[in-house]
């Protein structure tokens, strides 16, 4: 092979490798962006699992008199 043919083949292979790498980077960027968007998307009620719970759930059944007075004060009720 002549020197010019070798240079041409090497340049063509280098160009193809460059295009393949650019394509891979674009593909990976799109994949990462889609994954990030799915992780940060707003949750719809009932679709996301809730962990934990109240320490004393019975405290939330009925408000205490103190709680009712506080709510009345916040609403501006006059007794």
pLDDT tens sequence across 5-36: 999 999 999 999 999 999 999 999 999 999 99
Q: Tokens in use for 56?
A: 């004393």
Q: d(Cα 40, Cα 48) in Å, to the nearest integer?
A: 12
Q: Which residue carries 């799109």 as its tokens? A: 30
Give the up-direction half-sphere exposure of residue 57: CA atoms within 13 A in the CB hemisphere: 3
pLDDT tens sequence across 40-79: 888 777 777 777 777 877 777 888 888 888 888 888 865 5
Residue 25's pLDDT is 98
Residue 77's pLDDT is 66
Q: pTM of the entire structure?
A: 0.51
CB proximity list for 72: less than 8 A, separation 6 or greater: 79
């Amino acid at each position: 092979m002549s020197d010019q043919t070798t240079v041409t083949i090497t340049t063509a292979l280098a160009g193809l490798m460059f295009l393949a790498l650019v394509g891979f980077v674009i593909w990976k960027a799109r994949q990462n962006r889609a994954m990030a968007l799915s992780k940060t998307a707003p949750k719809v009620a009932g679709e996301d699992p809730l962990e934990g719970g109240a320490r004393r759930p019975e405290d939330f059944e009925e408000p205490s008199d103190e709680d009712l007075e506080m709510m009345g004060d916040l609403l501006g009720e006059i007794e």
